[in-house]
Amino acid sequence: MSSDGHVLPRGFSHVSSEARQWAEWVSDHIEAVPLLRAGGLGSDEVSRLDDELRALSSPQSIQQVIEFWAPTLREGRWRDLEADWRRAAVAFGTDSYETGRLVDVLWRAGDADAARVAIAQMRHALAAQPFSVHGDDFHRGKNIEILDGFEALLAFDAGACAADDARLANLHPFVVASIYDVMWDAHAAGEQARACALGLLYIRATAPYGHGPETALWIVAHILAPLSAHRDALEVLAGLSMTGATAGHHWRHLTLTAASARECDDAATHAAAVEALAPLFADAPLDAILDDAAWSDAYVRAAGLVDAHAPGFAVAVQDRLAPFAHDARARRLSARLALEALAHAPAESALALARQVAHAPPDTLADASLKAVDVLASAGEWAAAAEIYAAGIESYWDAPGAVGGAWRRKGLTGAASLPASGWVWSGRGIGDDVLRLKALVALKGREACARYDLDPRLAPLAARALPAIRFDHTPRAVGPGAVGRAAFWKARNGVPRAFDAFRVTSDRLDFLRCGQPVLQGEDVLCAYLQNAGVLTRDAGPILEPSAGAFARVAPWLAPAEGVRLTLCLAWRSGLLDRERRRFFFELEELAPLWASPDVRWIVVQHDLTDTERALIARTHELVLPPELDTRNDFDTLCALFRRCDGVVAPKLSTRDIAAAAGARVLSLSIGHRDIEGARIAEDGATDRIFPNIHHVRARDGLDRAGVIRAAAQIVRRWAPLKPPA
């Protein structure tokens, strides 16, 4: 605390007076102190933060401020600002290692060109710039080694060199750590091939450090196998030397080998691994297994693999845990074994196994967990089913990237029915609301007896399309416009059951654990729909515009000479920085799509920039409707979607709202995490929730430009839609 009573952010107890004054200003203007979560950083605060840092005159103060704030800026995706600061720190001569940190920031942000330019600039700085910290010849040489490593890494990432290139041998630990971080960034963004390539490179890069098989096993388990790179996984596992490895490593090696071989249809390797696993259970040291989370995972997976060949094996393994019933870890392990047994259990024993799972539910949701929920729900045991969902909520809230392709591998039998009536809570955005409403109709039909907490901008449209459902908009317990927990729960008195088919936040966990059935997360919902064998039953619109809205859009759609199609176009989110920009498009970038003389493109993009408006003004193919409020006037917007010949947009709320209004939609995806794949059917294009959405994704050999070209070809094949009678 400062002399005048200010609470200083953690890390500023011993700093210069300039930095102390700056920190006191931050304490006054930002609620969360210490501010370690980027949610409290708005653009105004960041701008002032930048101004204050640039006003500091001491190299020590600058370095202290950067060291404290860089993690927060990175978490909040203010990487452009972090790069500026690190570039300024180099110019100020603070620390020679800022040269490598600058390149690291630019590469993580996805700007390879800027990273290459920075490498050249930083080489010059190392040769000419005096540094107050780590400025001697030894550290300059180490920094040159780091820059050399990044230069080779950028070449590898661009496909210009292979993993066995001599330049990628013996990389500096700083560069190796960067490979690991970018690998996870690629995984989270759905860049599967890139994540796997970086994972394989990371295994090679860490080999000189003598970590044994641990690193390779970890990459196989968390990157290669979840992203279906099973042949690469088998090659890595086959090349590992297990001499001198621990018993836990042997279990994990055999389990991963068996699982990957099964996915590759390598029957011989799979059988050999399973045959080697079975006898290990007899003398398995359960005390050691309970103490080792990775070994416990391997133990459970191994039991499941053997159980597939010899049903009942997992139940027999459960019996060995009886002496450890007093240990909560053993009870959780037993429940996980029950899940494995459930996968191959006959109908007469399935319910008993599912009940065991509910008594000690795992902290993640997976294929077998959904099977347990199906079994419990079909028996009407919703409270038990809710326990399984509630246990998995926090883990998916913290790590959404954990959702993987395994859920899309095969369906489950016995679709669960949702409660006869229920109150559906709101999501986190208007696009979330629409998706969840469509999912409710897919599960319960248009006559669902439900109250739906819907955004008031959409409620009139939904009420016209779905008159059997009651639409409300209730206040929140916490957050903007909150009324407090007491009023929140009072509004729900008398509701027989409630469920959230989109997201469940931490303030609702207590309610869930009271036994209410829950569907959690867009990703979980889509996987649930698929695994339960429930596809969209009703392809009709769920948002119905008013007659007046159709009259308002008629002039924009009037026939014009030479115009074959009239399509709506959106291309980006309203919240952009360099990190998010790679998920969306620039209007000019889409020229191969919209530069068609026989197509009229109606722009429905909100928050247009001056550059975008200028391009639209000088391009006759692009039309900007006058006085169309794309953020609030969804009645007019949905009428436009319904009457035009189609809508083209990336993964935005605009896309799902257009589909909900009954429009023909072409979805462009260029980097979103693999979770959205759960929505896409086996044909790789049709959406499971909205069958009128056709997906074109940046994978299977398509890059950004390839997605645009493929979309243009689809548009050229589209025929005009017949106007309604």
| Predicted confidence (pLDDT) per residue in 575-617, tens digit | 654 455 667 888 999 999 988 888 999 999 988 888 899 999 9
Higher per-residue pLDDT: 35 or 522: 522
Among the ranges 299-308, 410-419, 468-477, 520-529, which has the highest mean pLDDT value? 299-308
Q: Which residues of 217-243 are buried (b: 16+ CB within 10 A; e: fewer)?
A: bbbbbbbbbbbbbbebbbebbeebeee
- State the pLDDT at residue 492: 44
Segment 690-713 shows an average pLDDT of 83
Binned at pLDDT 50, 70 and 90, residue 294 comes out as confident
Binned at pLDDT 50, 70 and 90, residue 189 comes out as low
Segment 336-361 shows an average pLDDT of 85
Q: Cβ of 560: how many Cβ atoms within 10 Å?
A: 9
Higher per-residue pLDDT: 528 or 401: 528
> What burial class does residue 553 get, using C-beta atoms within 10 Å of its C-beta: 0-12 exposed, 13-18 middle, 19+ buried?
buried
Q: Cβ of 535: how many Cβ atoms within 10 Å?
A: 14
523 pLDDT higher than 50? no
- State the pLDDT at residue 382: 63
Higher per-residue pLDDT: 382 or 459: 459
- State the pLDDT at residue 466: 93
Q: Cβ of 713: how many Cβ atoms within 10 Å?
A: 11
Residue of 466, 444, 648, 597 whose CA lies nearest to 534: 444
- State the pLDDT at residue 568: 96
Segment 69-98 shows an average pLDDT of 73
What does the alpha-carbon distance between residue 527 and residue 137 come to, in Å, rounded to a whole number? 56
437 pLDDT higher than 80? yes
Segment 411-440 shows an average pLDDT of 58
496 pLDDT higher than 60? no
Segment 362-373 shows an average pLDDT of 69
339 pLDDT higher than 70? yes
370 pLDDT higher than 90? no
- State the pLDDT at residue 399: 31
| Predicted confidence (pLDDT) per residue in 540-569, tens digit | 899 999 999 999 999 999 888 888 999 999
DSSP single-letter state for residue 5: S
- State the pLDDT at residue 175: 95
150 Cβ contact list (under 8 Å, min separation 6): 100, 103, 104, 107, 115, 119, 175, 178
Mean predicted lDDT score pLDDT of the chain: 75
What does the alpha-carbon distance between residue 214 and residue 96 come to, in Å, rounded to a whole number? 33
What does the alpha-carbon distance between residue 585 and residue 668 come to, in Å, rounded to a whole number? 9
| Predicted confidence (pLDDT) per residue in 117-130, tens digit | 999 999 999 998 88
292 pLDDT higher than 90? no
Segment 175-198 shows an average pLDDT of 84
What does the alpha-carbon distance between residue 492 and residue 592 come to, in Å, rounded to a whole number? 52
270 pLDDT higher than 70? yes
Segment 139-163 shows an average pLDDT of 94
- State the pLDDT at residue 300: 85
DSSP single-letter state for residue 589: G
113 pLDDT higher than 80? yes
507 pLDDT higher than 50? no
Question: Residue 127 region, left (φ>0) first, then alpha (ψ -120 to 50), else beta?
Answer: alpha
Q: Is the dihedral of CA 543, 411, 379, 426 positive or negative?
A: negative
Residue of 516, 666, 514, 661 whose CA lies nearest to 585: 666
Looking up tokens 């180490």 gives 142
What does the alpha-carbon distance between residue 173 and residue 205 come to, in Å, rounded to a whole number? 9
DSSP-assigned letters across all residues of 366-417? -HHHHHHHHHHHHTT-HHHHHHHHHHHHHHHHH-GGG--GGGGS---SSPPP
572 pLDDT higher than 80? yes
Residue of 185, 421, 419, 214 whose CA lies nearest to 298: 214
- Give the rounded percent of residues in the chain with a pLDDT score beyond 90: 27
| Predicted confidence (pLDDT) per residue in 644-696, tens digit | 999 999 888 899 999 999 999 999 877 554 445 557 777 778 887 888 999 98
Binned at pLDDT 50, 70 and 90, residue 634 comes out as very high
Range in 167-176, 202-211, 258-267, 508-517 with the lowest mean pLDDT: 508-517
- State the pLDDT at residue 62: 65
- State the pLDDT at residue 371: 74
Determine contact, residues 103/122, Cβ cutoff 8 Å: yes
Range in 21-30, 140-149, 335-344 with the lowest mean pLDDT: 21-30
What does the alpha-carbon distance between residue 400 and residue 488 come to, in Å, rounded to a whole number? 27
Segment 26-53 shows an average pLDDT of 45
> What burial class does residue 148 get, using C-beta atoms within 10 Å of its C-beta: 0-12 exposed, 13-18 middle, 19+ buried?
middle
- Number of DSSP helices (H) and strands (E) in the chain, helices first: 32, 10
Q: Cβ of 645: how many Cβ atoms within 10 Å?
A: 21
- State the pLDDT at residue 26: 41
3-state secondary structure of 429: coil
Binned at pLDDT 50, 70 and 90, residue 318 comes out as confident
What does the alpha-carbon distance between residue 15 and residue 21 come to, in Å, rounded to a whole number? 10
Segment 407-431 shows an average pLDDT of 46
- State the pLDDT at residue 529: 53
